[in-house]
Amino acid sequence: MEVTADPAPTPTTIPAPGDADGIGPRIDAVFDEEFLAVVAASGPWPTGTAPRRASGRGRRPVRVGTRPRPHGSQHGVRPAGRHRPAGGRHRLRPDQRSPPPARVHRPAPPGRVRPTTRPGPIPRTVVGVSDLAAAFETHRPHLVGVGYRITGSLADAEDAAQEAWLRLSRLPDPGAVRDLRGWLTTAVARLCLDRLRSAAARREQHVGPWLPEPVVGRADPALDAVLRADDVRMAAMLVLERLSPDQRVAFVLHEALDLPFAEIAGVLGCTEATARQRASRARQVLADAPVPPPVPDAEAARVLARFGAALATGDARAVAEVLHPDVVFVSDGGGAVRAALHPVHGPAKVARLLVGLAGRGDLPARLRPATVNGAPGWLLPGPDGDPPAAAAAVAVRDGRIVAIYGVLDPSKLR
């Protein structure tokens, strides 16, 4: 009996999916009859894929109908001559671009009117600039006095008053302000509070004692009358330096100007109870440092005449007899000129210091009596006469001089 081997399976050509006539790329594979029967029963293959080879586990399926990559395009390297424009899109020329879509006018909903023009400025009450300026000028002395009490600087007070005028003129309707004096006072107080807070750090770096800017005399009688008040005297202004900025503002606005605590709270940015508490603490601090009461002008003139005659003799004992046992001498040179870096206490020490200063340059003959911050004092003319080289205010108690405040800082003399 002759035994013959099974014939080898013949290669079967399977047309690529999507090619009904069998034309196109082909995949040659050897399959047995059972596999072909299973494939025929399962229907057509998914579009774009072919069966994986037995040894190709984990490899990507073969894409049918794609071109093979040309040589040199492996690893992301494109063949020469092909370039994709930036952005992944072809840029169109202006003549190839389509025009923008036309805007469609939609009518306004019922009950609503679409505005045809933009809204104009807020209507203003007819108030002339000259009338507003005239009303402001009537309050200027009061505003400068408020600023000077808070800051101790006449320049800062005048700047704050001018800034308040600018803010008033920028209002949409200045005529709608009911209480112009109260509005301006609040504005000046806020501006001066900001200046006082920023000046606290500068005063800590001040060389020697700090004294307020002296007010000698003004051409404006109304302003001069405000700055001659008792609470603007050098001794009273120096006591205010012991207060914090908020306490000082609360004390000045309530005690000197009699403003209600509701408005003071608006200036300080706190509650009414807090504003009342700050004013109360300010009064407690000032109670520990009483200010000498003012004396009549005739008595002050007699004391100054005695002091000048004793100083002209150059006798320290004669000068000490005119000084009060609690006398203090304070000088502010600001680091620009020579001055005592600490207050000098006691009649003997103050007399020796003044006699030593008087021996330089014939000082007693050059002193000119003047009213400084509403108190008696002297002026020392400068080389050219104006501004003065020094200004001194004097406090008198019991017929003697109890305090001498000398300002020699050139930035405070004008």
| CATH numeric code, 128-205 | 1.10.1740
CB-based contact 323:401 (threshold 8 Å): yes
Calculate the CA 180 to chain-centre distance.
26
In degrees and rounded to multiples of 5, residue 262 shows phi and psi of -65, -45
Calculate the CA 276 to chain-centre distance.
27
For the ranges 5-14, 25-34, 167-176, 353-362, the maximum mean pLDDT occurs at 167-176
Confidence category of residue 60, pLDDT binned at 50, 70, 90: low
297-412 under CATH 3.10.450.50, yes or no:
yes
**How many other C-beta atoms lie within 10 A of the C-beta of residue 211?**
25
Start-end of CATH 3.10.450.50 domains in the chain: 297-412
In degrees and rounded to multiples of 5, residue 319 shows phi and psi of -70, -40
In degrees and rounded to multiples of 5, residue 245 shows phi and psi of -55, -45
**How many other C-beta atoms lie within 10 A of the C-beta of residue 81?**
5
Question: Which residue has better confidence, 407 or 110?
Answer: 407
- For position 24, what pLDDT does the model report? 46
Start-end of CATH 1.10.1740 domains in the chain: 128-205
- For position 349, what pLDDT does the model report? 93
Share of the chain above pLDDT 90, in %: 27
Confidence category of residue 414, pLDDT binned at 50, 70, 90: confident
Structure tokens that stand for 352 in this block = 């020796």
Residue 220: DSSP 8-state: -
The pTM for the full model equals 0.65
**Residue indicated by tokens 């073969």:** 62
Separation in Å, CA 170 to CA 136, 175, 190, 397: 14, 12, 17, 50
**Residue indicated by tokens 């050509």:** 13
